[in-house]
Structure 1
């Protein structure tokens, strides 16, 4: 495989752009302007759409053609693609105004691993959660900035970083 060149995919400027996720069914890239509560959506051969979510959000997982699961500052919310309405599905630290969602990843088994962090990067304010078939579990706590959640190829080992420590866990 050769790369012919690199080009700018979108010239939209985000205050804190993160959480890119590609949907192969629609050939669309999604990402977030976290602090401004925006979901950005751009088909590979189409125009950029900017959706105002009204909450800080950082990760998306496609449920089906009509619904998306979005990690937000109050928990996992289901977004209706047609109406753009968000409905709280599973609260995560919703009673803690200090934290917000940060990095998330879907495990090969289908479980969503999602992290939180302090909005001001407060030391130890974050955690990493596991969500599967309606069950939510806190796996790790005392994290400052949860990031880079990923898995070994066979799914038996999970990794993450706490950006504040510079360590791979």
Structure 2
């Protein structure tokens, strides 16, 4: 088993979010964004000044992406919304699915500007969710009967997509059209991590094609080669690490969100960093997220 590299980073945000998720970074403004999904909060952190703001949301947001300098895309339990970056004003773009008991979860924008977004039951009901492809306002269901969609990310050339259903806990890969982000083949198992606790959560793919995965319940971020070989494990201060994002002017730093969801008072007392947001303290070869194309 790969040894765990001790945590040498720092805490970026002391707020203990119930379900910290969906981190992203805008290099144009040097700003990191992430959500507390169940708390209906959008966190904004200007890195160079350490200026922090928290925005209340009228829904459970889980994914944010740049559209242009004035607008952002937010995925939520009520569909996709366009957010005015300065005022925070929200405008409904499109409904993902008509299931009131569902919410959005993990997602990421493909290099072509299309969004892959997963949905799930608010209580993680078995097979209640799906994974969708959204091009502008056109929504296409890709995979059904998903319980907890996670690990959505794409290879640097845009020809491979990765995803998982955390309840199944197999990292999947599928060939996609680099021009559209739509699958051109059938998903196959890339890796079935065994030998330590926890589930595959959010992932991001770096400039070399390495897949950085937050391991919920194991207090680690694990790194996989494109062939599925696990090559490194990095410790996180919180047990329930949820999702990584590349940050900084060179995309060479790694932010990781976490959560205290599902913990009782005793478990939270034993895991005081649960729900906080961290920088891992290592140099990575990341890349910036593409903009969503309307």
TM-score (norm 1): 0.93
1:33: which partner in 2? Answer: 36
Taking the TM superposition and a 5 Å limit, the aligned residue runs for 1:2-151 are 5-44=8-47, 45-93=49-97, 95-151=98-154
Give the Cα–Cα distance (whole angstroms) in 2 for the partners of residues 83 and 109 of structure 1. 28
Find the aligned partners of 1:149 and 1:120 in 2 and give their Cα distance: 20
String of CA shifts for 1:77-112, please: whole Å, max 9, x gaps: 01112321211101112x312110000111111111
Counterpart CA distance in 2 for 1:116 and 1:148 is 13
The gaps in structure 1 that reach 5 residues or longer are none
- The whole-number CA distance in structure 2 between the counterparts of 1:63 and 1:37 is 21
TM-score by length of 2: 0.54
Q: How many aligned residue pairs are there?
A: 164
Higher RCO (CA 8 Å, separation ≥ 6 residues): 2
- Describe the SS at the equivalent of 1:8: strand
Structure 1's consecutive aligned runs of 4 or more residues displaced over 6 angstroms after TM superposition are none
Pick the aligned partner of 1:168 from 159, 167, 171.
Answer: 171
More strand by share: 1
What CA distance in whole angstroms lies between the structure 2 residues aligned with 1:28 and 1:158? 26
- Report deviation, 1:145: 0.3
Please tell me whether the aligned partners of residues 77 and 102 of structure 2 are also in contact (alpha carbons under 8 angstroms): yes
Distance in 2, matches of 1:109 and 1:64, equals 15
| CA deviations over 1:130-151 (Å, ceiling 9, x no partner) | 1113321111110000001012
SS of alignment partner, residue 76 of structure 1:
strand
Computed over aligned residues only, the root mean square deviation of the Cα atoms, in angstroms, reads: 1.1
Q: Which has the larger radius of gyration?
A: 2
Q: Aligned partners of 1:158 and 1:18: how far apart in 2?
A: 20
2 CA distance for matches of 1:81 and 1:22?
13
Following the alignment from structure 1 to structure 2, what is the Cα–Cα distance between the partners of residues 151 and 31? 20
